[in-house]
Structure 1
Amino acid sequence: MVELTTLHLIFSLFLGFIILFLITRQDTSLICIAGVFALALVATGTLTGSISGIFNSFSYAIKELTPTILVISVIVAMSKVLEQTGIIDVMVKPFEKLMKNANVTFWVVGILMMIVSFFFWPSPAVALLGAVLLPLAIRSGLPPIGVAIAMNLFGHGIALSGDFVIQGAPKITADAAGLPVSEVVSASVPLVIVMGAVTTITAFIMLKRDMKRGKIDTTPTVNAEVKKEAGLLKSWQRRLFAILIPIIFGLDIVAMFYFKLQGGDATALIGGTAVIILLFLSMLTYKKKGLEKVTESFIDGFQFGFKVFGPVIPIAAFFYLGDSGFFQILGNALPANSTGIVNDLGLALAHSMPMNSGVAAGTLTLVGAITGLDGSGFSGISLAGSVAALFSHAIGGGAAVLTALGQVSAIWVGGGTLIPWALIPVAAICNVSPFELARRNLIPVVVGLVVTTIVAMFLI
C-alpha cells in the first residue's frame, strides 16, 4: 500500500473545504486556487515553484478541456444559425405532441438521452440532442436546469455507469477483478436499475417542489438573444434541412458504430459535422454576407464556450492534481508506487476497514466515489475492481457485485453528476451553472448511492 504523505492530507483537507463551499452555495474558485498553491508549495519546496504551479495547473486544465470547449462552441454556433433561419422550429415539431408539459418532458428528454448514450456515450449524445430538444423542452414548461438534470442523470449516470453496449467500463473493472466481463455486466444490471430509479425520481420530486415554490427561474435563457430573421429561407427549404440535418447526424451515428468510434473520437465527428452544417447554411442563407456570418457565428460560439468554462478551470486544475496530472504539473513528489492522490486515498480506505458483506459494500461505494473525485469516472474504476477482488476473498464471495458497485459509484460521482467541471457539456448546452447543477444532483445521487449500497449487501 502507498504511504500517505502531507500532500494526501492537504488534498483531503481542501477537498473537504470545496464540498462545504458547494453545499453552502459559495463559489469555490478561490479555495481551489489556494489548494493548488498549497500542493505546489509542498511538492516543489519553493515559493516560485508554487506560484508557477498555479499557472501550469491552469494551462494543463485548459489543454485537457479544449476538445469539450470546442465541441460545445461549434454546436452553439450551429444552433444559433438553425434558430435564426427557423429550421430548429421545424425540427422540433414531431416532438411537440409528445412533450406536452414539464412532467412528461423531463422523462422524455431523459430516456432519449439514455438510449443514445448507451450506444455512443453521453458527450456525443449531449451534442446531438441538446440543441434540438432544449428549445422545445423549455417551451413545454421545463426550465433549463430541469433539462440539464434529466440529460445528466440519464446519460452520464444511468447509461455510462452500466455501459451495457460499448462495455468500456465493465471491461476495465472486470479485468482488474479477474472476472469475465459478462459476469460484471450481469451483476451491475440490478444496481444500475436501482440507482437510476432512486436518483431520477428523487431529482424529479425535488425539481417539481422547487418549481412550485418559485425557487427556479423558468425564463428561457438558452440563445435568448438569437432573433429569427424572416425570409432567410423558404418554407420548403426549412423543411428540407429539418429532415436532412437529423439524417446527417444519423449517418454520424452509423459511422460511430461501424468504425467503433467512442468518447473523444465520436465527439470530434459530431463537432466536425456541426462545423460543415454551419458553413453550408451560412453561405446558402446569407450569400454574399455568408463569410461574415460564418466568422460571426464562430465568435459567438467561442465567446459562449469560454464564458461557460472560465469559472470551472480553477476547479479542474485542482482536481487534475488528484490524478495523473499531478506528475505532469508538479513532478514526482509523490511516493514511487503512487498512481495519484485520489487512488492512494481510496486504497488506504480499503485497507483500513474490517471485513463483512455490509462493510465491504459500503467501502466499495466510498472507494468508487473517492476515485471519481478527479472528474473522470474511468481513471479509478480499475482500483475499484482490484479492491472488490480483495474483499471478495476476505468475505468468501460477491466479487461481481462488489466490482459492479464500485464501478457504479465511481462513474456516477466522477463520470459525472457531482464534479462541476465534469458537468460542463450538459451545463453549457443548457446554459446553466455547472455548480448549480452539481448542487441539485448532490442529494439525489447520495440517496441513490445509499439505497444501491444497501441493495448490494443483500446481493453479495
Structure 2
Amino acid sequence: MNVVLTNLHYIYLIFILVIILAMILKRDISLICIVGIFTLGIFSTHSIYISIIQIFNSLIYATKELMPTIFIISIITAMSNVLVVVGINKELVSPFKKIIKSYWMCYWIIGIVMMTLSWFFWPSPAVALIGALFLPIAKKVGLPPIGAAVAMNLFGHGIALSSDFIIQGAPKLTADAAGIGVSSVMSASIPLTIVMGIVTTVTAFYMLRKDIKNNKLNTSFNKEEETYEEKNVISSNIFRKILTILIIAIFLGDIIIMYMYKLQGGDATALIGGTSLFILSFISIIAYGKKSLENITAHIVEGLQFGFKVFGVVIPIAAFFYLGDSAFIEIFGKVLPQSSHGIVNDLGMALSNIVPLNPLLASGTLTAVGAITGLDGSGFSGISLVGSVAKLFSTAIGGGIATLTALGQIAGIWVGGGTIIPWAVIPVAAICKVDAFELARRNLKPVIIGLLVTTLCAAFLI
C-alpha cells in the first residue's frame, strides 16, 4: 500500500521527537506544541495570520474533545469533597480495613477490581467508582497516590481496554480491517494479553515497592481532605452508615443499569456523572440544611476549578496531537494528499512499507505501527490500520494474521489508551491527584518492557 508523505508529515514527526526528548528531560512541552501547531499552519495555509487563528481554533477543538472528561472529574471531585466534609468517606473505608492490610494488597486489589469493571464498562466510568471507593483505603494502608494511579492505569486502560473481551469494540475494528473473525483476534490476544499484563504490572509493582522502601515517594494525599475530616458535619455514626449504604446501593444500581441497557463509554460515564451530582446535592441538603443552596454551588465551583486547573496544562498538548488524526482537516482543511488517512496513520503505514519481512521483524513493526498510531492519545483511532498492516505482513510471511493483528491492537491501545501518553492519563491522574506527566513517566518503563517481551512472544507464536 503506497503512502505519500509530505512536508507536513515530516514536520509533525520532528515535533514528536522533540516532544519526546523534552519529556525525557522532564521539561514542559506546552510551548513546543503551540509552536508545532503554528508551524503546521504555516506550511498548510502559507499565511501567518491564519496560522495564528488556527492555534486558537486547535485549542477550542481540544477543549471540546476533553470537555466530557473535564466535567466527570470536576463532578466526582465535588462529590468526594462533600463526602469528606460529612465524614462518609470514613464509613466507605471501614468495611475494607479488615481485608486490605498493606499497600501491596491495596495495589493488586485496586488493579483487579479496575480491570473487571473496565471489561464491562470501559475505564472512564470505572475510574470514578474506583477512585471514590479505594483512594481513602490507599491512604490508610500507605499506598502512595502514584501507586494507586499506576494500578488503575495498567489494569484498566492497559489490560482491560486492549483486550476488550466483553464489549469487543477493539477486536471488532482490528478484525474487520484484517478480514478475519473477531473470535480469531480474541483467541490470539489471550496469551499476548497475559504476557503483557503480567510483565507490566509486576515490573511497575517492583519499581513502586523499591521506591517506597527508599522513601522516594510522597505517601500523603490531598491536604484539603485532612482539613475537611475535622469537620464531620453529621455527627451521628448510625446516620452516616445509613447514608454510606445508600450511596453504595445507588452506584451498584448504576452498574446494573449499565449492564442491562448496555451503556458504554460516554453514556456510562454520563450516568456516573449524573449520579455523582445527585449524591452531591442530596448529601449537601442533609448536611447544610438552609445553607445547602450556597454550599452546593460552592462545591461545584470548587470541583470545576480543580478540573480546569488540571486540564489547563494539557489542552495545548492535546491540541497538537489531535492534529495527527481527523482534526487536521477540520482545522487546516484538505491540504493532505487525497489518499491520506491522517498524519499519524500515514507515518505508521510508511514504516510498515520499509521493513524487511520475517516473523520477528513483522512483530516488531506491528508493535511500532500500533505505538505510533496511539500517539494521538486515543488508542482506537489507528487500530484499524494495524489490522490492514497485519493482513499485508501475514501474506508476505505465510501466516500469523490473527497474532499480528492482536499484537498491533495491544500496542496501539496500551500506548494511546491511557498508560504512557500524558494527555490520556489525565482522568486517573486527576482522580488520584497526581501529576499526569509524572504518572506517564512512571508507566513508561513497565509498558516498554512489556511491549518488548510481548513482541518476542508474538514472534514465536506466528
TM-score range, shorter chain: over 0.9
Partner residue of 2:154?
A: 153
Partner residue of 1:68?
A: 69
Counterpart contact for 1:29–1:315, Cα < 8 Å:
yes
Q: Secondary structure at the match of 1:215?
A: coil
Counterpart contact for 2:127–2:152, Cα < 8 Å:
yes
- What is the deviation of 1:246? 1.4
How does 1:28-427 map onto structure 2 within 5 Å?
Answer: 28-221=29-222, 223-224=224-225, 226-228=227-229, 229-427=231-429
Counterparts of 1:177 and 1:222 in 2: how far apart (Å)? 51
Letter in 1 for 2:282: F
- What is the deviation of 1:231? 4.5
Q: In 2 relative to 1, CA 399–322 (structure 1 residues): closer, same or farther, beyond 3 Å?
A: same
Counterparts of 1:444 and 1:243 in 2: how far apart (Å)? 38
Counterparts of 2:265 and 2:224 in 1: how far apart (Å)? 27
Q: In 2 relative to 1, CA 341–222 (structure 1 residues): closer, same or farther, beyond 3 Å?
A: farther
Identity value in percent:
61
Counterparts of 2:18 and 2:93 in 1: how far apart (Å)? 43
Counterpart contact for 2:233–2:287, Cα < 8 Å:
no
- What is the deviation of 1:135? 1.5
Partner residue of 2:3?
A: 2
- What is the deviation of 1:154? 0.5
Counterparts of 1:223 and 1:183 in 2: how far apart (Å)? 50
Q: Secondary structure at the match of 2:228?
A: coil
Partner residue of 1:445?
A: 447
Q: Secondary structure at the match of 1:333?
A: coil
Counterparts of 2:190 and 2:258 in 1: how far apart (Å)? 25
Q: In 2 relative to 1, CA 29–260 (structure 1 residues): closer, same or farther, beyond 3 Å?
A: same
Count of aligned pairs: 460
Letter in 2 for 1:433: D
Counterparts of 1:412 and 1:262 in 2: how far apart (Å)? 19
- What is the deviation of 1:92? 1.4
Counterpart contact for 2:355–2:361, Cα < 8 Å:
yes
- What is the deviation of 1:215? 2.3
- What is the deviation of 1:214? 2.7
Per-residue CA deviation, residues 375-421 of structure 1 (Å, 9 max, x unaligned), is: 00000000001111111111111010000000000000000211111
Q: Secondary structure at the match of 2:424?
A: helix
CA RMSD across the alignment: 1.1
Counterparts of 1:387 and 1:39 in 2: how far apart (Å)? 27
Letter in 2 for 1:311: V
Counterparts of 1:423 and 1:223 in 2: how far apart (Å)? 23
Q: Secondary structure at the match of 2:423?
A: helix
Which segments of 5 or more consecutive residues in structure 1 lack a partner in the other structure?
none
Counterpart contact for 2:58–2:320, Cα < 8 Å:
yes
- TM-score using structure 2 length: 0.98
Q: Which deviates more from structure 2 when the two are superposed, residues 369-378 or residues 227-236?
A: 227-236
Counterparts of 1:224 and 1:289 in 2: how far apart (Å)? 21
- What is the deviation of 1:97? 1.9
Letter in 2 for 1:87: I
Counterpart contact for 2:359–2:397, Cα < 8 Å:
yes
Q: Secondary structure at the match of 2:339?
A: coil
Counterparts of 1:53 and 1:273 in 2: how far apart (Å)? 37
- TM-score using structure 1 length: 0.98
- What is the deviation of 1:112? 1.0
Counterparts of 1:203 and 1:57 in 2: how far apart (Å)? 35
Per-residue CA deviation, residues 217-271 of structure 1 (Å, 9 max, x unaligned), is: 1222264365132342522221111111111111111111111111111100100
Counterpart contact for 1:169–1:407, Cα < 8 Å:
yes
Counterparts of 1:85 and 1:233 in 2: how far apart (Å)? 8
Counterparts of 1:447 and 1:108 in 2: how far apart (Å)? 23
Which segments of 5 or more consecutive residues in structure 2 lack a partner in the other structure?
none
Q: Secondary structure at the match of 2:146?
A: helix
Counterparts of 2:60 and 2:233 in 1: how far apart (Å)? 45
Counterparts of 2:233 and 2:419 in 1: how far apart (Å)? 42
Letter in 2 for 1:349: L
Counterpart contact for 1:222–1:430, Cα < 8 Å:
no
Q: In 2 relative to 1, CA 331–223 (structure 1 residues): closer, same or farther, beyond 3 Å?
A: farther
Counterparts of 1:96 and 1:322 in 2: how far apart (Å)? 46
Q: Which deviates more from structure 2 when the two are superposed, residues 208-217 or residues 226-235?
A: 226-235
- What is the deviation of 1:432? 0.6
Counterparts of 2:223 and 2:38 in 1: how far apart (Å)? 36
- What is the deviation of 1:81? 0.6
Counterpart contact for 2:87–2:233, Cα < 8 Å:
no
Letter in 1 for 2:57: N
Counterpart contact for 2:85–2:233, Cα < 8 Å:
no
- What is the deviation of 1:34? 1.2
Moved over 4 A (4+): none
Letter in 2 for 1:215: K
Q: In 2 relative to 1, CA 56–222 (structure 1 residues): closer, same or farther, beyond 3 Å?
A: farther
Q: Which deviates more from structure 2 when the two are superposed, residues 70-79 or residues 94-103?
A: 94-103
Letter in 2 for 1:113: M
Counterpart contact for 2:122–2:161, Cα < 8 Å:
yes
Counterpart contact for 2:38–2:52, Cα < 8 Å:
yes
Q: In 2 relative to 1, CA 231–312 (structure 1 residues): closer, same or farther, beyond 3 Å?
A: closer
Counterparts of 2:262 and 2:223 in 1: how far apart (Å)? 33
Letter in 2 for 1:21: A
